[in-house]
Each structure stands twice: as C-alpha cells, then as structure tokens.
Amino acid sequence: MDADVKASWDIFCCVVDNYGDIGVTWRLARQLVAEHDVSVRLWVDDLKSFERLWPAVQPALDSQWQEGVEICQWPAVWPQVTAADVVIEAFGCKLPAPYREAMAARPLPALWLNLEYLSAEGWVSGCHGLPSPQPDRLHKYFFFPGFAEKTGGLLREAGLTDRRRAFQADPDAQRAFLATLGVTAVPGARLISLFAYENASLAEWLDVLAADDLPSQVLVPRGRVLGGVQAWLGVDELQEGTVHQRGALSVQVVPFVRQDQYDLLLWCCDFNAVRGEDSFVRAQWSGRPLLWHIYEQEEYAHWEKLEAFLALYIEGASPPAGQALTDLWRAWNQGKGMAQAWRHVLAHWDELAANAELWCARQAAQPDLATALVQFYRNWI
C-alpha cells in the first residue's frame, strides 16, 4: 500500500443488547480515526439504539459522518461496495455474503478480524491472534480483548488516565458536571452510580443502604434496572431529577447520557455498579471500586468469566478484602445475600479503593485495544 494512502477499515456491528456492542465499536471507530490516521466505516443494524448513545446520529440516513467516522446503515439488501483493507466482524456478527465476495476480489485480500467478547479466562491468551482458514484466499483471525499481556488489551484513549485523575482532583469540575444532570451531591454521602439489568438483589442492597449510618446517594441512569428501583420506592413513575429519600439513602434518576458524559459520571462516583462490557471497562478506568452485573449466558457460562476476572482483579488485595468483594459480586449476580456482603465490603473500603486504582494503573501499562489492532495489521502486511 502507498504510504500516503490511509488504510481503510470496515467495522460491522449487530446491536444485540441495546448498547454494549455498539458502545464498544463506536469507541473503537472514533479512536482509530482520531489516533491512528485511518479511515473507518461503521456498519450498524440498529441506528435507533446508537442514537441513544450519540444523539447526533440520524437513524433515517443510510450514510452519515460523525466524529470523522462514516456511519452506514446495515441494509437488508447489500449494496455494491469496495471492501476495506481491514474488516472487523464484531462479537460474532456474520458478514454479508456479497461483502465477503468483495473482500476476496481485492488484489490483496482484506485482513479479516473476528473481534471477540472480553474475557479474563486463561484460554484467551492461547487463542488470541490465531488464524481460521477461510475459502477464497481470505485471512480471518480471532482477536481477543483482555487483561493479560498476550491479549489485545482494553479500549483506552490516549491520555485517559491523566484526564480522569485531573477531573477527580477538581471538586469544582465535578460539581459543575453533576449540575448538568440536575444533581447536587449530598455532603458527606457515598456517591454511587447504578446501571444494571433487572436484579433480584436490588431491594436488599437498597434496604441496607437506607439503614446505614453513613448516607448514600444513588444515581440511576435510565435503563433496565429502573423498574426495580421504582418498585422499591413504591412510586408509579420515576421522573428525572426528582430526589427520593428513604432513611440514609437518596435516589435520583439521571438522563441517559453520551459516552463521554458517562465517563465523567463514573469518575464522580465513589462506587459504580455497571453491566455488560462497555460500562464494565469504563468503570475500571475510573479507578474506583465497582460491581459488575454480568450478562447471563446459557449453561451458566458467564460464571466462569466472572470468577476469572475476580481472580485477577483482587490479586493486589489482602485475602479478607478480596473475599469481601468476591462475595459481593456473587451475591449481586445470584440475587441473594447482598446485605451481609455489602457490610463486609464497607469494612475493607479503603483497601478496595486503593486496589481499584492499582488495577487501573496495571492495565494502563499495557497497549490499548486500538493500538494492538493497528499493530496486528501492520505486522500482517
């Protein structure tokens, strides 16, 4: 390829769980354009969900430009297009047959990458980067994000850690941001964000927060957990901005925000309950203790992923603190035992907070996912 010609990348995304898949691919597409000087088309089959994450998106358009990325509607009848130099099949979505033919018709076949879901399981390192033989001269490789050295790493924009630390050291910046959401921080309260799936443990956790000696303030972005919060409060409807007080706990619904704003929300909070993959990774970059509601899979395959991550995440903590956090995550994902598990976490709060920052630093010392993808392509050509 001519050194003056930008490499072209096509990223394909099927929106499976509302925001997780598109959240990851949209972050990746923007970073590739902004930091690696490549051209990116992002093919998406559900622009309405995408619009929630990025309100500037216009779902009625077949093609549009946002943040230097060409966003294309994934049509039912595939148009005639030139295949890109690098093709990313995100999270097991299937490429259209005509597009595969276009890939094979190139003078130099496209590099085909199957970007997999994030996992801390040990086998990931052994499978990362392996080829999968394909017909028609095509080259397909499995690319695994991950936490270990021999994986593809995590999505992390340049300077993210420095920006986060500067923001967390600036109380005025935090107050100003929260004010844009209609939030006033309760003095002396533990600030918690809650973004989760429906959860049988929710009421028990809210009960123990309400009965605590220390006040807590829970901010709930609009999402699937909202029904459970509404039932616990015993109200017919939760309006954004309205503060509900019960005992030591105040609860407030906040708007569903853009990705960059969600980062700031996570950075403001002392503790973040998150779900899926995109918010899970962003909560880790906040350097604050977190609680992950993992997406449930058939035959309980998600438990292996949960336990594998916890084993890595608590390596730097003392056994009692690590066990307290492990018990909390298990209780949250099993739907029982949340009250006792939360009390044990509170007993090790300072150590778990320090461990969250340590984990963030360890992960930031490794290459980020976008850089790893670009380097893989350069090595391949």
Active-site amino acid positions: 21, 277
Which residues on adjacent β-strands are paired with residue 220?
Answer: 253
Phi and psi (nearest 5°) for 272? -125, 120
Q: H-helix or E-strand containing 271?
A: strand 271-275
Q: H-helix or E-strand containing 11?
A: strand 8-13
What's 297's DSSP letter? Answer: -
Q: Which two tokens stand for residue 341?
A: 């598990």
Q: Which two tokens stand for residue 329?
A: 């995550």
What's 142's DSSP letter? Answer: E
What's 89's DSSP letter? Answer: E
Using the structure block, give the residue that is written with the tokens 């100003």: 176
d(CA 102, CA 108): 11
Q: In what order do the strands lie in the sheet with 271-275?
A: 243-246, 249-254, 216-221, 190-194, 271-275, 290-293
Check: CB of residue 335 under 8 Å from CB of residue 271. no
d(CA 211, CA 202): 14
Q: H-helix or E-strand containing 245?
A: strand 243-246
